[in-house]
């Protein structure tokens, strides 16, 4: 029930990057559970950490002390998203977990990367002006 209320508050903000990154975190948690069920602990833990860090840093950016602080948190999210893509690609190419639907997950992380990259570029431009 608490999570339902939290999700409703999050979605009521109508913030695309928050919504996408939160949904993505939930998908990765499910993948993590699948991976650990199949005794894959090392890569699954790295994937879980980087993927859930995306949303956490975006949330932190909302309360940045300055525009530079905001940019720093968004940039950290961008780096974590890039790392997440690496772990997903590594899993896909290694055939360790051929039961995962990689195309959807890769599409999701690429959308998140594109949005975060756009936010980073726009914020840098705004800081220069």
16-128 belongs to which CATH class? mainly alpha
Dihedral of alpha carbons 84, 89, 95, 98, sign: positive
What pLDDT, on the 0 to 100 scale, is given for residue 97? 84
What pLDDT, on the 0 to 100 scale, is given for residue 13? 61
The C-alpha atoms of residue 16 and residue 49 are separated, in whole angstroms, by 21
The C-alpha atoms of residue 33 and residue 24 are separated, in whole angstroms, by 14
Kindly indicate the confidence band of residue 3, based on its pLDDT and cuts at 50, 70 and 90: very low
Contact at 8 Å (CB) between 118 and 81? no
Tokens 């840093």 label which residue?
57
How many other CB atoms are found less than 10 A from the CB of residue 48? 20
Where are the domains positioned within the chain?
16-128
**For the segment 94-126, what is each residue's pLDDT rounded down to a tens digit?**
988 888 899 999 999 999 999 999 999 999 999
Contact at 8 Å (CB) between 50 and 90? no
**For the segment 24-81, what is each residue's pLDDT rounded down to a tens digit?**
999 999 999 999 999 989 999 999 999 999 999 999 998 888 999 999 999 999 999 9
Indicate the DSSP class of residue 101. Answer: -
């Amino acid at each position: 029930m608490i999570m339902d209320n939290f999700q409703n508050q999050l979605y009521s903000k109508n913030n695309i990057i928050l919504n996408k990154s939160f949904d993505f975190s939930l998908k990765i948690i499910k993948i993590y559970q699948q991976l650990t069920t199949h005794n894959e602990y090392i890569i699954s833990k790295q994937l879980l950490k980087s993927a859930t860090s995306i949303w956490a840093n975006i949330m932190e950016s909302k309360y940045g002390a300055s525009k530079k602080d905001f940019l720093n948190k968004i940039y950290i999210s961008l780096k974590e998203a890039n790392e997440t893509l690496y772990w997903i690609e590594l899993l896909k190419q290694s055939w360790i977990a051929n039961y995962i639907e990689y195309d959807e997950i890769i599409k999701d992380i690429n959308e998140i990367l594109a949005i975060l990259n756009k936010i980073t570029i726009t914020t840098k431009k705004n800081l220069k002006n």
